[in-house]
Amino acid sequence: MNPGRLGLAPLLQENPLWISWHDSNWIPVLNPGNVMDYFSEKSNPFYDRTCNNEIVRMQRQSLELLNNMTGVEYIPLHVQDPILYVIRKQHRHSPTEATPMADYYIIAGTVYQAPDLASVFNSRILSTVHHLQTAFDEASSYSRYHPSKGYSWDFSSNKASTHAMAEQVAEKTKTQTKKEAPVKEEPSSIFQRQRVDMLLGDLLRKFPLPLPQMTNNPTGGNPSDAGNASNNHGGAAGDSDHVGADATLIKQEPTEGGVGRGGNNDVPPEKKMKL
């Protein structure tokens, strides 16, 4: 597999963790003795041709000479025949000191680069943040708010059905606005009343009501004349009240017919003077 021919060279420069390599001709005969020759193929994008392994290979020397050299080299780190082989890339400073640079594992003949610890943490954190964001978006889609009831949850429908239902309701509302009966309004709740009182209080504190000012009489008359007129009106009303009271008293007096019928002869016998 040639990464340059398949357009994988830019990916290799950016992040080699995204690519893999294998050679089908080597897979049936792959073993611990030839795994380093398999990894040293020219088409392998993970192999550095400026390493010490390439120098020893061109000189047809043994790989044991790598311990006496300095620079980049590849060594077999772990073997689990026939499925798993691990190869390490390291920079040798002395026969007893070497700094690891990268690890590669071969599974069933396919070569992959093992991710470093920073890449693992970065991938896990990004995955966690993505799933958390998806969960929050999904949860917020089920949140509902009503002025009289506050916030609540509605899990009876998902986003698609809710959107479709909203479109259908909007179309029906446009076509049947005049035919529908007026909806009965719900009474206000304690939450609404307290909220409205708080808003009105804030408005009164910010914009207090102006004090009433004294204005002149628009008719141009004297206030004393108005007071006299009111007194005259009150006096007339008092006279009419006296007249009404007199009429009532007159109505309550006994009539002459009643006096004539009774007469002085109608005095009870016990009250007559005895002769």
pLDDT in tens, the chain (275 residues): 454 444 444 444 567 888 999 999 999 999 998 999 999 998 999 999 999 999 998 888 888 888 889 999 999 999 998 889 999 999 999 988 999 999 999 998 999 999 988 889 999 999 999 999 999 998 888 888 888 888 888 877 665 566 666 777 777 777 666 555 556 677 777 877 788 888 888 888 888 888 777 666 555 555 445 445 444 444 444 444 444 444 444 444 454 444 444 444 555 555 555 54
Is residue 74 within 8 A of residue 39, CB to CB? The reply is yes
Give the start-end residues of each E strand in the chain: 21-22, 71-80, 84-94, 97-107, 110-113, 143-146, 150-153
For residues 34 and 43, give the distance between their C-alpha atoms in angstroms, rounded to a whole number: 16
Q: Which amino acid belongs to residue 76?
A: P
Name beta bridge partners: 99: 91
What CATH number was assigned to the domain covering residues 16-114? 3.10.450.580
Kindly provide the b/e burial profile for residues 56-74, where b requires at least 16 CB atoms within 10 angstroms of the residue's own CB.
Answer: beeeeeeeeebeeeeebbb
Provide the token pair at 106.
């071969």
Position 269 scores a pLDDT of 55
Where in the chain are the domains?
A: 16-114, 119-169
Angle at alpha carbon of residue 30, lines to 27 and 35, rounded to 5°: 120
